[in-house]
Amino acid sequence: MIGKLDHLVLTVADLEATKHFYCDVLGMTFEPFGEGRQALHFGEQKINLHIKGKELEPKADVALPGTADLCFIIDGTIEGCAAKLKEGGVPVLEGPVKRTGATGTITSLYVRDPDRNLIELSVYDN
């Protein structure tokens, strides 16, 4: 019945810190939309952003910053990703390490975003 994920929502404490991390470091695009709404775009996907205390309804039952654990497949190499993270002042918590992605083996780096969400940045192994 489910074909693909269209978007997900992150609740964030600091919109500017979130934009810096996801746009300046990870290369996503920030786009406001509708009446006071905002999203991060990458490829054919988006992450809608809710500001803590100003969440839109309906929302998750427990909508809090720092409660997500997300894995993104990156373009390029894991070494290039590590260099970009270092350049952006983002410490790597773990990696590179081998993991299992949705369609095969991946090599991953783990970092935290400004809200302390766990972010896994990965490439599929050939």
pTM: 0.94
pLDDT tens series, the chain, 126 aa: 999 999 999 999 999 999 999 999 999 999 999 988 999 999 999 999 999 999 999 999 999 999 999 999 999 999 999 999 999 999 999 999 999 999 999 999 999 999 999 999 999 998
Active site residue 57: no
Q: What count of residues does the chain have?
A: 126
* Of 31, 44, 57, 120, catalytic: 120
Which residue range(s) make up the domain with 16? 7-124
Q: Is residue 56 part of a domain?
A: yes
Residue 82 φ/ψ, nearest 5 degrees:
-60, -40
Looking up residue 103, the CATH number of its domain turns out to be 3.10.180.10
Q: Is residue 1 part of a domain?
A: no
Q: Is residue 89 part of a domain?
A: yes
Total domains in the chain come to 1
Q: Is residue 2 part of a domain?
A: no
